[in-house]
Amino acid sequence: MRRTLIAGNWKMHGLTADLSWVEAFHRAANPNAPCDVLVCPPFTLLAAFAARCTDKAIEVGAQDCGPAATGAYTGDVSAQMVADCGARYVITGHSERRAGHGETSEAVRTKADAALSAGLIPIICVGETLEDREAGRAEDVVSAQLHGSVPESVTGADVIVAYEPVWAIGTGRSASAEDAQSMHAHIREIWSRGRPEALRILYGGSVKPDNSAEILVGADVDGALIGGASLDPECFASIVNSVR
């Protein structure tokens, strides 16, 4: 019932010369892979990237959006502007924004609300640090982030949650398939905003072609949010091709 989503987060990578990624991906990817595919390039490439993906074989998303709809907010990009570029998704509350830009769960919830108002699907990120995990409080931290970051109004089908343990991001050290499944089951169990069975929960953190199939086996693992391995079109296609 929940279709797998394989999503790439390019972070602060990508220039116009990299737009040929789209054609290279299509050459390498199985067009019949049983999953949805999403790429979140930087704002600067959003419209041009979306213009290459009009067949919707690849959906497009942004990596963040401003909380306000419009106004005097120098440097911000609103959810409506993201939608206007042809994107349908937006990542909110990535740990690199929580840690590097001081974003609180409350700020993340405001952004997710702005995304929903603009007709976008927010991908709300949560995840514990290594210190949290070693202290045995990973589930508590994730629960608190989830309750603080998810708007009250959502049902489950209209948002996506990404579980990204901070210690697994860009480190080459992925969570084990068992640990990922266990946290995803916890997230679904505590989901109090409508239909938990409709909620797609992605795992993110050092997903590569050689561990994707194993991680995606988890009953509550509905896809992956991929950083480094999404920059190479063949590598990302291999992950898409590993979906069963």
User: Which residues of the chain form contacts with ligand 13P (CB under 6 A)?
Assistant: 9, 94, 164, 169-170, 204-207, 225-229
Nearer CB in complex with ligand 13P: 94/109:
94
32 is in an annotated binding site: no
Task: From the candidates 59, 96, 103, 164, give the one annotated as an active-site residue.
Answer: 164
Which position's Cβ is nearest ligand 13P?
Answer: 227
101 is an active site residue: no
Active site residue 94: yes
Question: Annotation-wise, does 9 bind a ligand?
Answer: yes
Indicate the angle between helix axes 138-149 and 177-190, nearest 10 degrees: 40
Q: Rounded to the nearest 5°, which phi and psi values hold at 132?
A: -60, -45
Q: Between 66 and 228, name the residue whose CB sits nearer to ligand 13P.
A: 228
227 known member of a binding site: yes
For the bound state, the minimum distance from the C-beta of residue 173 to ligand 13P, rounded and expressed in Å, comes to: 9
CA dihedral 193, 96, 92, 189 (to 10 degrees): -20
* Two tokens, residue 105: 């769960």
Whether residue 230 is annotated as binding a ligand: the answer is no
Shortest Å distance, C-beta 141 to ligand 13P: 17
Helix axes 138-149, 105-117, angle to 10 degrees: 40
Alpha carbon 168 to its chain's center = 15
What does the angle CA 3 – CA 184 – CA 123 come to, to the nearest 5 degrees?
60
Minimum Å gap between C-beta 121 and ligand 13P is 15
